[in-house]
Structure 1
Amino acid sequence: MNQYEKPESPAVNAVSPSPPADATDCDVLIIGGGINGCGIARDLAGRGWRVMLCEKDDLASHTSSSSTKLIHGGLRYLEYYEFALVRKALQEREVLLKSAPHIMWPLRFVMPHDPSTRPAWMIRIGLFLYDHLAKREVLPGSRGIDLRTHVAGKPLKPLFKRGFVYSDGWVDDARLVLLTAIDARARGAEVLTRTRCTSAQRAAEGWTATLEGPGGTRTVRARAVVNAAGPWAESFLRGVAHSAHGESMATKSLRLVKGSHLVVKRLFEHDHAYIFQSPDKRIIFAIPYQDDFTLIGTTDIELQGDDPGAAKIGNDEIVYLCEQVSRYFEKPLTPADVVWTYSGVRPLLDDASGDPSAVTRDYLLESNTAGAPLLSVWGGKITTFRKLAEDAADEVGQMLGQDRAQRPAWTDGAFLAGGDLSAWIGPHVKGARPDAEFERFVAAVQARYPWLDAKLARRLARAYGARIEELIGDATAMDDMGAAVAPGLHERELRFMQAREWVQTGDDALWRRSKLGLHYTSEQRAAVDAWLQVHPQH
């Protein structure tokens, strides 16, 4: 056994785990390893429930790694009068930013004013509501700016003279899912990747599920099932879950909306992001990304076909995003500038809206107690995942006979894996900005490991937070990190990813656990994949 194969010790739960029940392997079986499934697994495990989660692919393989990577209230939702959703999301921003300052941080957004889209008075009202719908401790409010003198005006066309700036947050979405799953596992949950639920048979006393994974077929008995399959939530109920009497358990329809993004070489030097208004009333973000790049998105297009996993950007989307950004930047953007694209499918509740952009991003939790408990998660957005998980855990507990008073909520104020930096920088100071605390953490990492290259030290601090100590282990020099499989990626880190982060392939390591794939050549990416295949985790 190598130094990374020792399992993490479960954290102390507020409630002791349920005693084993006759003929059950777990209290709750969760289908889906995206942000909602992992969030629910974490919350339930922290309340002492016996939890198992299965994901048919890698963690965050689909929607949860294909977002615009923002922790935000959703400024544009105010136009659709989604005040409750915006307030809920705004309340969650700072809760999340404080929980994992290594993968989330505040970001200022610049909106150049284009009078042909929305009048200035409407924007001012919207930003006033955005500032005041929920309490802010660390995020500064909005204000008007003169783009002729502000740093953000430099790359813009001269016709944009005035604008507005406001605050939201940035998140590494795939690592957010990962850290949530790590915390769930540390609290006792069993997390199974590349494991498909092929059948879930319901009876009065519980569920019997068939799981197919790398180790073969497994039968699992659970007291309750949570359907958090995202774009596959409806098809799970129609084709996989079976009631005792054979009737369909699907009562809702999903509207699958594709959102696509472009990544191009860096378009500006400052650290602000842009939010651009389009003539069709949509908004487009241009966001600093991975130091050397700019992330641009997103689109809202009805998914064609019945396989959400096959969603890819269309040429028309590439042209659209380039055209909309080129309306604002002095230097035009063309499809030839694109270095990477990705597309995700948003599983939105079908509300018969003609405009995909107008479909609500709020979530609905649907309980079904006509037999063993079933909870289905419909919709949702990454910013509200913690609250969704808390509500879901309350509902599942109630269906299993123990309410919130007996198994209380606990995640508000709790850190995600690696997010507690106090051992490195001292206790959190109320009102301190998470990004400032992270910079102090980076300095502490460099002081403790002076032999680490500064760029590598920062990347590892970003990725692992306080878990960097587990990664570095007894290494005292770069030679102890093992051979460099690709620039800046050493064997010790890959073994850590395998043992602690469910990594099996190059795509897992380079596109979800990190975005190093953006910085590597095809040969370097192939070398990482080959190393993982030659050195499988046992």
Structure 2
Amino acid sequence: MLTSDTYDVAIIGGGINGTGIARDAAGRGLKVFLCEQNDLASATSSASTKLIHGGLRYLEYYEFRLVREALIEREVLLNAAPHIIWPLRFVLPHVKGLRPAWMIRLGLFLYDHLGGRKKLPGSKGVRLAAHPAGAPLAPGMDKAFVYSDCWVQDARLVVLNAIDAQNRGAEINVGTECLSARREGDLWIVTVRQNGEERQIRARSLVNAAGPWCAELLENKVDAHKKQGIRLVQGSHIVVPKLFDHDYCYIFQNPDGRIVFAIPYEQDFTLIGTTDRDYKGDPAKVAIGSDEISYLCDLANTYFSRKITPTDVVWSYSGVRPLYGNADEDASAVTRDYVLEIDQQNDEAPLLNIYGGKITTYRKLAESALARLSPYLGNDEAPWTSGTPLPGGDMPNGNFDAYLAAMQQRFSWLPAAQLYRYVRNYGTLSDRIIANASDTAGLGQHLGGDVYENELRYLMKHEWARCADDVLWRRSKLGLHVTQDTATAIANWFAKNNPSLLTAPIGEGNEDK
């Protein structure tokens, strides 16, 4: 029986797919409930290579639809969030004996034209001896190809979708585990546990966006007709002190057919990844192996003059991608395309299972999910997210540099690096952190470095941050920059402050106090 407490859509999983669907659904006037057992973006969605890209190598597997959709999405997302997404130029050195030059040129021609590129510059060939990207490379590489893609702060993209979903009426619950979901006729009865207390909600539809746990959810917790297995593939990255001083990124080929990126990261570092290998076990316990570290170091050493060893690694991370594919296929060849399946019989409540996907196409995945659910929900609202900025992305003309310059004039008392970090992370929401301060003393307690209490309070109140790790490694990458004393001070601050402030939406008339 429908009641005022019945949701139209209940979503299990607070990664990019879950929060993207929540945002789209809430914007169409649907009543949305989302639960995430840990933190937003605490698994696969914060363990990506952090690129909004078409996936150049997917052309080799004839994934033309996926590549075209992803290429179109690059500029859609660039317009939606210019503070956390920005263009990059990639350098692909040509190496004899690997992919021939004609194949690379053909691939880049398709890459330039499949997606109707408007803002990003096209590809070209360069001589490395006369190009800035040539200097750090080992001798023997003469020419390269340069093309465009985009960078994204992946975990922040997840959080911004959750913020917008909540602003539009969705209920976002972190630290909330789904214990079970069963059908009662045309409704789902979902039991969740938060802070040790159990709660039941009703929903007209259920979305399984649990990422690497989606198959386990079907097997053990959800009343489903079909128990679908998935292919779990581990991808790992390492971070080392920066290997070059320019803004170009590298995409390197390897004799095993894999490609690896080397990307300027957090001003002082280089990010290198990723690996691809099958994973067995609990996705929550995934960790980089010593063989993966050696593989990435060895590949980097093949291309760079400056050599690195595992002792140079200052940070590493691993994620598990839930792919819809055959266990006999090579892990790097399994499709990154998404598959949506409706599980429903007769007139009972529908279950939508989300398999696969990549961060670049999350918005299109959400539109597809709503297209599949709408007939069951009687909702015929049109897609709306393609032209709507994400929170903090509503800068005049989408111009990050102009907005930063205006903020530097307004807040000339703030250290330039600190203000840049605010604007790069929070965009137009930076005002909520700076508030009415006229000097750094007005930003609250100083916890070390450029971290002040106002920022932590904002993150706790508006972005569901509950502990130091949420701030240091997902809402930001301050963990790479602050001292251990500052990290401890942040942990102590969270221990002393009440996390009951977590549910306040960001909207008109809801300023931080």
What's the TM-score once normalised by structure 1's chain length? 0.91
Separation in structure 1 between the aligned mates of residue 275 and residue 386 of structure 2, nearest angstrom: 32
User: What's the CA shift for 1:358?
Assistant: 0.5
Within-5 A mapping of 1:64-463: 64-214=45-195, 216-242=197-223, 248-305=224-281, 307-370=282-345, 371-402=348-379, 406-422=380-396, 428=397, 437-463=399-425
Partner letter of residue 533 of structure 1?
A: A
| Paired AA for residue 413 in structure 1 | G
Q: Out of 428, 438, 446, which is 1:476 matched to?
A: 438
Residues 70-92 of structure 1 deviation map (CA, whole Å, 9 limit, x = unaligned): 00000000111111111111111
Matched-pair contact (CA < 8 Å) for 1:35–1:64: yes
* Equivalences, count: 498
Cα distance, 1:374 vs structure 2: 0.8
1:238–1:250: 8 Å Cα contact kept in structure 2? no
Give the Cα–Cα distance (whole angstroms) in 2 for the partners of residues 334 and 72 of structure 1.
29
> Paired residue for 1:519?
481
* CA distance in structure 1 between the aligned counterparts of 2:4 and 2:24, rounded to whole angstroms: 24
**Displacement of 1:468:** 1.1
Residue in structure 1 matched with residue 510 of structure 2 by the alignment: none
1:489 positional shift: 0.6
User: 1:204 Cα deviation (Å)?
Assistant: 1.5
Give the CA deviation at 1:133.
Answer: 0.7
Preserved contact between residue 353 and residue 359 of structure 1 (Cα < 8 Å): no
Offset of residue 215 of structure 1 = 6.2
Give, in angstroms, the shift of residue 109 of structure 1: 0.1
Q: 1: distance between equivalents of 2:169 and 2:378?
A: 21
**Is the CA contact (8 Å cut-off) linking 1:257 and 1:303 kept in structure 2?**
yes
Distance 1:521 1:314 in 2: 26
Q: CA deviation at 1:107?
A: 0.3
Q: CA deviation at 1:407?
A: 1.1
Identity, in percent, stands at 54
Shift of 1:333: 1.5
CA distance in 1, matches of 2:64, 2:342: 25
CA distance in 2 between partners of 1:352 and 1:232 (Å): 17
Cα deviation 1:224-243 (Å, max 9, x = unaligned): 1001000011111111112x
Report the alpha carbon displacement of residue 369 of structure 1 after superposing the two structures with TM. 2.1
CA distance in 1: counterparts of 2:401 and 2:325, whole angstroms: 43
SS in 2 for 1:364: strand
Structure 1 counterpart of 2:263, one-letter code: I
Cα separation, 1, equivalents of 2:327 and 2:110: 28
How far residue 157 of structure 1 moved from its aligned partner, in angstroms, is: 1.0
CA distance in 2, matches of 1:121, 1:525: 50
Higher mean C-alpha deviation, range 485-494 or range 40-49 = 485-494
Please report how far the alpha carbon of residue 534 of structure 1 lies from its aligned counterpart in structure 2 after TM superposition. 1.2
- Deviations 1:494-524, CA, capped at 9 Å, x for gaps: 0111100101100001100000001123332
Measure the CA separation in 2 of the matches of 1:460 and 1:215.
35
Tell me if the contact between 2:226 and 2:343 (Cα under 8 Å) persists in the aligned partners: no
Alpha-carbon distance, 1:526 to partner: 1.8
Larger mean Cα displacement after TM superposition, 196-205 or 257-266: 196-205
- More displaced, 388-397 or 20-29? 20-29
Return the alpha-carbon distance in structure 1 between the equivalents of residues 86 and 225 of structure 2.
41
Conserved 8 A contact 1:505-1:532: yes
Q: Deviations over 1:285-339 (max 9, x none)?
A: 000000000000000011132x011000000000000001110001111111100
1:24 Cα shift? 4.3
- Aligned residue in 2 for 1:497: 459
**SS in structure 2 opposite 1:250?**
coil
Structure 2 CA distance, aligned partners of 1:314 and 1:200? 36
The answer on whether the counterparts of 1:152 and 1:272 sit within 8 Å (CA) in structure 2 is yes
* 2:219–2:227 contact (8 Å) kept in structure 1: no
- SS for the counterpart of 2:455 is helix
Give the AA of the match of 2:236. S
Instruction: Please list the CA deviations of residues 1-22 of structure 1 after superposition, one character each: whole Å capped at 9, or x if unmatched.
Output: xxxxxxxxxxxxxxxxxxx942
Residue 241 of structure 1 aligns to a residue in which SS? Answer: coil
2 CA distance for matches of 1:115 and 1:312?
A: 34
Aligned to 2:503: none
Q: Contact conserved, 2:205 with 2:349, CA < 8 A, in 1?
A: yes
Distance 2:335 2:485 in 1: 43
Query: Contact 1:252/1:349 (CA < 8 Å) preserved in 2?
Result: no
- The one-letter amino acid of 2:94's match is H
Distance in 1 (CA, whole Å) between partners of 2:463 and 2:181 is 27
State the shift of 1:478 in Å: 1.1
Q: What are structure 1's unaligned runs of at least 5 residues?
A: 1-19, 243-247, 423-427, 429-433
Conservation of the 8 A alpha-carbon contact between 1:253 and 1:350: no
Q: Report runs of 4+ in structure 1 exceeding 4 Å deviation.
A: none
